[in-house]
């Protein structure tokens, strides 16, 4: 497809993601189900026929209620999951700011974890050595580099995780509600870093419940509801529609409970 | 085609030439050697942390097995050990067996054990079982110190045929990795797999000539033993280290063929199941 595939960072083509709910994880449950010839668990669609494109350098917010398929979308972009139907194309190196420090080993020191986590994100040894000082500077954790991370406070843990992720030189940055990392000062620093990425032309996908974040950072927003894409427009109109959606559902719940 | 395109470039050339995807990923592993190394270090650091003996535990297991088994099988039941005292004969079989069995157990659990990572960030998942096995290589190197001590104690210096050991180990390594890969993947789908591996290893131990020499196996069962790669490996180690002979090349190539086939099939199956990993955790 020569039509500007160079310009597209993320392309979802009719993507559905099906999960099986009650999973039979032992052979005792699997074999009888197989013999009876029935599906051994009920399917559930986290995403249904979702298509959208994100251009290189674009910042896009993904908005939706809990269970709307936001996290599944991020996982598909991150390559952690494969779509059940449709195609997901991702061009460039992805760095997920999803649950920072997921790869940290509690017994290892800060230094060792920087190396481990950076190599998980795809950095080479020489790149890690070159960026190491920047990573520690940004996290402001010089005195704790030889301390096992299990002694870290949760704020320190997140700061180190964030710092490694943003120094991994991503083409695409996935941000999932982590803008409030540590104290207000550090939070400012993170936002500044994300702005810097935007200026450098890094593609950014932000999942957020906060309309402010989406309005401040994103040129476009995508609204998901029960796994379906409702709208992919300007942040203002998407947030407006999102609010209506929430109000309507609250009204329904209110009517049912009264 | 529903697989997403991750890294443009090299991969497409390989695909265009008709090279199967899983062979390309095998070659691409070289680019992630840093990660493999860091994961191995992570396992090693974590393994005996907060234990008083620390890494000495890697010696305790084989040493105690050797002492008890030698007592049982050379003092109580008098098993013949051609070419060397029983303790030495046993240990040359026990070391590669322990490497195999601990690798298989740890490797089978490696992907399930890293579930928090697997659901969050993509990296080639085969790094996990591979790192688990590399950790056991380090254990094996440590435990080899006991072998050196035993050889010195019995005055049995290895001859030049010992140069075959690294090659034999490489073949054994390929087999171990090849068998571990699909088990690690299947273990995500059915947690029965880890228990099955435990049972299989216990039985496998007895049908492999570790506590007895292959020579006492009746003729009509020899073919069966030749199809057991562990039997081929252990007999070869004994030949080159204790009997000071070159390996039986026919059997070595048979072992190599089984190992390479196991690795290719195992890796193929692993890559086939890989896209579903995060769904199953």
A45 and A70 within one domain = yes
A85 and A33 within one domain = yes
Angle (CA) B112-B113-B114 rounded to 5° is: 90
Last residue of a domain, one of A141, A169, A197: A169
pLDDT reading at B1 higher than 50: no
Residue A190 included in any domain: no
Residue A182 included in any domain: no
A32 and A15 within one domain = yes
Would you report the helix, strand and coil content of chain A in percent, each value rounded to 5? Answer: 45, 25, 30
Residue A21 included in any domain: yes
- A107 contacts: CB under 8 Å, gap ≥ 6: A148, A150, B45, B46, B49, B50
Chain B interface residues facing chain A, Cβ-Cβ under 8 Å?
1-8, 31-32, 34-35, 37-39, 41-42, 45-46, 49-50, 116-123, 189-192, 275-276, 278-280
A117 and A82 within one domain = no
pLDDT reading at B108 higher than 90: yes
- The residue-averaged pLDDT of B22-34 equals 81
pLDDT reading at B8 higher than 50: no
- CB distance B35–A120 less than 8 Å? yes
- CB distance A102–B116 less than 8 Å? yes
| pLDDT confidence tier of residue B16, bands split at 50, 70 and 90 | low
CA A103 to chain B, closest CA, distance in angstroms equals 6
Among the partner residues A88, A102, A112, nearest to B121 by beta-carbon distance: A102
- B105 contacts: CB under 8 Å, gap ≥ 6: B194, B197, B198, B201
Which residues between 51 and 80 in chain A have a beta carbon less than 8 angstroms from any beta carbon of chain B?
A: 75-76, 78-80
User: Tokens 């305790």 correspond to what residue?
Assistant: B60
A85 and A110 within one domain = no
**Domains contained in chain A, number:** 2
A86 and A118 within one domain = no
A88 and A216 within one domain = yes
Last residue of a domain, one of A143, A169, A195: A169
DSSP conformation class of B280: G
- Using alpha carbons, select from A140, A50, A82, A138 the residue that is nearest to residue B279: A82
A104 and A74 within one domain = no
Among the partner residues B31, B45, B122, nearest to A107 by beta-carbon distance: B45
pLDDT reading at A258 higher than 60: no
pLDDT value for B28: 76
Contacts of B5 in chain A (CB under 8 A): 89-91
Residue A110 included in any domain: yes
Complex-level ipTM:
0.82
Residue A206 included in any domain: no
Note down the domain range covering A222.
Answer: 8-92+212-257
CATH code of the domain in which A107 resides? 1.10.8
| pLDDT confidence tier of residue B15, bands split at 50, 70 and 90 | low
A121 and A57 within one domain = no
- Selected for mutation to probe chain B from A103, A110, A128, A178 (highest B CB count within 10 Å) is A103
A19: helix, strand or coil: strand
- CB distance B34–A78 less than 8 Å? no
| pLDDT confidence tier of residue A67, bands split at 50, 70 and 90 | confident
CATH code of the domain in which A87 resides? 3.40.50.300
| pLDDT confidence tier of residue B9, bands split at 50, 70 and 90 | very low
| Most confidently modeled range among A231-235, B154-158, B202-206 | B202-206
Helices and strands (H and E) in chain A: how many:
8, 9
CA B184 to chain A, closest CA, distance in angstroms equals 15
Residue A183 included in any domain: no
Lowest-confidence pick of A53-62, A113-122, B23-32, B171-180:
B23-32
A104 and A138 within one domain = yes
Last residue of a domain, one of A169, A191, A220: A169
- CB distance A107–B35 less than 8 Å? no
Residue A202 included in any domain: no
- CB distance B5–A103 less than 8 Å? no
Question: Which token pair is A115?
Answer: 């190396």
Minimal-distance CA residue of chain B relative to A71: B120
| Most confidently modeled range among A29-43, A87-101, B77-91, B227-241 | B227-241
- Selected for mutation to probe chain A from B5, B114, B118, B121 (highest A CB count within 10 Å) is B121
Q: How many CB atoms lie within 10 A of CB B17?
A: 8
pLDDT reading at B159 higher than 80: yes
Residue A86 included in any domain: yes
- Is residue A100 within 8 A of residue B16, CB to CB? The reply is no
């Amino acid at each position: 497809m020569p039509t500007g595939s160079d310009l597209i960072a993320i392309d979802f083509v009719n993507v559905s993601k099906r999960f099986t709910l009650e999973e039979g994880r032992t052979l005792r449950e699997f074999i009888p189900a197989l013999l009876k010839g029935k599906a051994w668990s009920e399917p559930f669609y986290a995403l249904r026929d979702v298509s959208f494109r994100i251009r290189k350098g674009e910042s896009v917010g993904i908005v939706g209620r809990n269970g709307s398929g936001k996290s599944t979308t991020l996982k598909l972009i991150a390559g952690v999951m494969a779509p059940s139907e449709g195609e997901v194309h991702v061009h460039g190196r992805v760095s997920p700011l999803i649950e920072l420090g997921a790869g940290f080993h509690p017994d290892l020191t800060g230094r060792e974890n920087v190396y481990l986590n950076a190599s998980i994100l795809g950095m080479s040894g020489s790149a890690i050595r070159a960026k190491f000082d920047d990573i520690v500077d940004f996290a402001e954790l010089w005195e704790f580099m030889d301390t096992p991370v299990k002694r870290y406070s949760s704020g320190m843990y997140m700061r180190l995780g964030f710092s490694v992720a943003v120094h991994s030189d991503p083409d695409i940055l996935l941000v999932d509600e982590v803008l409030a990392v540590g104290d207000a000062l550090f939070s400012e620093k993170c936002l500044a870093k994300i702005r810097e990425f935007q200026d450098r032309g890094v593609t950014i996908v932000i999942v957020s419940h906060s309309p402010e974040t989406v309005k401040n950072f994103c040129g476009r927003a995508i609204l998901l509801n029960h796994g379906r894409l409702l709208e992919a427009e300007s942040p203002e109109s998407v947030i407006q529609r999102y609010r209506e959606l929430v109000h309507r559902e609250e009204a329904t719940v209110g009517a049912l409970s009264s | 085609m529903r697989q997403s395109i991750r890294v443009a470039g090299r991969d497409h050339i390989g695909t265009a030439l008709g090279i199967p995807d899983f062979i390309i990923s095998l070659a691409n592993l070289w680019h992630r050697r840093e990660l493999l190394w860091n994961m191995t270090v992570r396992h090693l650091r974590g393994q005996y942390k907060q234990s008083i003996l620390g890494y000495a535990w890697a010696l305790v297991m084989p040493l105690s097995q050797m002492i008890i088994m030698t007592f049982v099988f050379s003092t109580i039941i008098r098993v013949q050990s051609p070419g060397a005292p029983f303790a030495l004969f046993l240990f040359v079989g026990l070391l590669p067996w322990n490497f195999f069995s601990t690798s298989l157990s740890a490797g089978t659990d490696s992907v399930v054990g890293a579930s928090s990572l697997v659901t969050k960030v993509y990296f080639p998942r085969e790094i996990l079982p591979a790192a688990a096995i590399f950790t056991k290589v380090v254990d094996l190197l440590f435990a080899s110190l006991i072998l050196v001590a035993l050889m010195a104690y019995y005055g049995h210096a290895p001859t030049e045929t010992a140069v075959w050991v690294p090659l034999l180990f490489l073949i054994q390594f390929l087999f171990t990795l090849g068998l571990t890969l699909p088990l690690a993947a299947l273990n995500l789908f059915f947690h029965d797999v880890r228990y099955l591996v435990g049972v299989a290893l216990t039985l496998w131990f007895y049908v492999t000539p570790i506590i007895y020499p292959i020579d006492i196996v009746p003729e009509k069962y020899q073919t069966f033993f030749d199809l057991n790669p562990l039997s081929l490996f252990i007999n070869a180690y004994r030949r080159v280290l204790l009997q000071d002979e070159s390996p039986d090349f026919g059997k070595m190539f048979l072992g190599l063929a089984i190992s390479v086939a196991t690795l290719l099939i195992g890796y193929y199956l692993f890559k086939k199941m890989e896209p579903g990993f995060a769904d199953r955790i």
